[in-house]
Structure 1
Amino acid sequence: MRRRFVTLDVFTQQRFAGNPLAVVLESDGLDKAAMQAIAREFNLAETVFVTAPADPDNRAALRIFTPAAELPFAGHPTVGTAVLLGCMSGYNRGAHDFVLEEAVGLVHCSVEAQGKDRGRASFVLPRLPEPVGIPVAAAEAAAALSLKEDEIGFGAPSRWSAGVPAHFVPVRDLDAIGRAEPAQHFEAVFGRESRAIVYLYCGETAEPGHHFHARMFAPGLGIREDPATGAAAAAFAGVVAETARPADGEHRFVVEQGYEMGRPSQIELGMTMEGGMLTRATIGGGAILVSDGHIEA
């Protein structure tokens, strides 16, 4: 059966930058094994399968796959699919809101199509980040990332989840984060409780006006390195709230990622602090359509 798909670059407003995404629009009738096989065929960080929502008041239901596994939630698939559906709904509608059904729960999105092939979207985190499991010690983290222990900087590694658990490792500066590489024992160190997803970050940035520089490694998911990781940025809100302790009110941070890969991405992290606690967070950014075709499946 011929099924329409679209690819987009997400967390960017330029083609051939950001994080590539495949969206299969005609997914009814596909089972999990077929979806996984298609995701392996596209071989992108994630592939989204769009189906009819359980609640007709919602815009669509999404299932999200890496080349190796299904995810309950992911940021760049949510933003990219929201932009695509917004463009399909009528690019002259202006900003509008809708709800997507994902395995993690209902995801409330705001979309503004900026033409037939591009736009911006943000979503409210369906789950606020929380610390999970046991963090890796700094010395272990450094060795598993091919770094020296004194290159783990301005804080200790931690482990958080806003739907997908990840390890968060602060790195001293841009030079050190640029040299980080998964070592042979990466999976043994970071994969003790679940699949090893490791998010490195530092406060030194490649571009002015940005707040954090990040890299993400998850070879066990078929993603050696990811150009932009919205789910990890969502959980990173918990790290920022705990370590930076922003004042009460609204805050906006720009996280740059993918620069070492030649695919610069910018993820917008919104945070609301009340009484010293994180009470709301959003992830947003741009997306642009790259290709449109059909797959036999």
Structure 2
Amino acid sequence: MRQLPFKQVDVFSDQPLLGNPLAVVLAADELDDARMAAFARWTNLSETTFLLEPTDPRADYRVRIFTTLTELPFAGHPTLGSCHAWLEHGGVPKGKEIIQQCGIGLVRIRRDGTQLAFTAPPLLRFEAVEAQLLGQILPGLGLMPDALMDARWVDNGAGWLALRLRDRAAVLALQPDYSALPQGLAIGVFAPWDAQRDGPDAQFEVRAFIPGDGMPEDPVTGSLNAGIAQWLLSEGLAPDSFVVSQGAAMGRQGRVHIQRSAQDIWVGGAVVTCVDGSLTF
């Protein structure tokens, strides 16, 4: 039996237990697909990652990302959490930025003080959500049609669609009936904060639902926030720099920092290590 380095980190929080946990298995090149999938089901977290040697010479490492249901070509909090674990384990980038290889290709990551940030990947889908599909989603979320301001696909590899509501209170009040929602569909819901009513700590509230997953509400979601940021910035609905709150409905205090710089949109946050040890397979 072989031991592999293992870390469990908390992403999008500078305090343990208030962000989104991620299990990271390092030096996982000898594990096969079935073993990876089985371990991800066992952790029962929203995602578990496995770090391997890159096959692209430009990359610093390669990551495979598993939910309890499937493998993802890309996800945001696993990108930042995996990078943090790789650096903490002694990884040294080849250049000024860290280059991650994953299912969608190469993702650039930068260190910005105490935070890490990745460049939002291109959207694979960015069109209106079909009326028939909305007809299934809205009742499952307990929303009347007039509560919805807009709905778009914001899929960058993780399959997200997003619903825009009027205010933060409406987002926090959602009580989804997961049995009534399309199983496996990745659904994001967001709305702006009101500075006078909600305070200055963030500018938007986000929630993320994946019916049928082991954790049907994701605490803090990098890929969804990357897609929402591309939507908001493309239509002038947000400033070049803003902060998103996510996880409040679950007792978390996730903060996602968005920064547009030239042609790039950076999605960042803090990461802390909560568990550091080894696994025996």
**TM-score bucket (shorter structure):** 0.7 to 0.9
Write the distance in 2 (CA, Å) between the matches of 1:56 and 1:139. Answer: 46
Give the CA deviation at 1:85. Answer: 2.2
For structure 1, the residue ranges without an aligned partner over 5 or more in a row are 274-278
Cα gap change, 1:90/1:61 in structure 2, threshold over 3 Å: closer, same or farther? Answer: closer
Give the CA deviation at 1:295. Answer: 1.9
For structure 2, the residue ranges without an aligned partner over 5 or more in a row are none
Write the distance in 1 (CA, Å) between the matches of 2:124 and 2:15. Answer: 30
Cα gap change, 1:280/1:97 in structure 2, threshold over 3 Å: closer, same or farther? Answer: closer
Cα gap change, 1:214/1:134 in structure 2, threshold over 3 Å: closer, same or farther? Answer: closer
Cα gap change, 1:68/1:130 in structure 2, threshold over 3 Å: closer, same or farther? Answer: closer
What is the aligned partner in structure 2 of residue 175 from structure 1?
169
SS in 1 for 2:154: strand
Amino acid in structure 2 at the alignment position of 1:223: M
Give the CA deviation at 1:126. Answer: 3.3
Give the CA deviation at 1:288. Answer: 0.4
What is the aligned partner in structure 1 of residue 271 from structure 2?
287
What is the aligned partner in structure 2 of residue 271 from structure 1?
260
Instruction: Name the TM-score, length of structure 1 as normaliser.
Output: 0.83
Give the CA deviation at 1:7. Answer: 0.5
Write the distance in 1 (CA, Å) between the matches of 2:264 and 2:54. Answer: 25
1:204 aligned onto 2:200: no
What is the aligned partner in structure 2 of residue 101 from structure 1?
101
1:217 aligned onto 2:213: no
What is the aligned partner in structure 2 of residue 81 from structure 1?
82
Partner residue of 1:127 out of 91, 115, 122: 122
What is the aligned partner in structure 1 of residue 225 from structure 2?
233
What is the aligned partner in structure 2 of residue 260 from structure 1?
249
Maintained 8 Å contact 1:144/1:185: yes
Deviates more, 1:19-28 or 1:51-60: 51-60
Deviates more, 1:95-104 or 1:47-56: 95-104
SS in 1 for 2:90: helix
RMSD in angstroms over aligned alpha carbons? 2.5
What is the aligned partner in structure 2 of residue 144 from structure 1?
140
1:29 aligned onto 2:30: yes
Instruction: Name the TM-score, length of structure 2 as normaliser.
Output: 0.88
Which aligned runs of 4 or more in structure 1 are off by greater than 6 angstroms? Answer: none
Write the distance in 1 (CA, Å) between the matches of 2:193 and 2:237. Answer: 18
Write the distance in 1 (CA, Å) between the matches of 2:122 and 2:32. Answer: 27
CA deviation map 1:210-239 (0-9, x unaligned): 111010000233331011110111111232
Maintained 8 Å contact 1:253/1:268: yes
Amino acid in structure 2 at the alignment position of 1:267: V
Identity over aligned pairs, percent: 31
Write the distance in 1 (CA, Å) between the matches of 2:222 and 2:152. Answer: 18
Maintained 8 Å contact 2:167/2:191: yes
CA deviation map 1:87-117 (0-9, x unaligned): 33389x9x942211001110111125x7xxx
SS in 2 for 1:223: coil
Maintained 8 Å contact 2:44/2:215: no
Cα gap change, 1:105/1:207 in structure 2, threshold over 3 Å: closer, same or farther? Answer: farther
Give the CA deviation at 1:62. Answer: 0.2
Maintained 8 Å contact 1:132/1:165: no
Give the CA deviation at 1:70. Answer: 0.5
Maintained 8 Å contact 1:227/1:258: yes
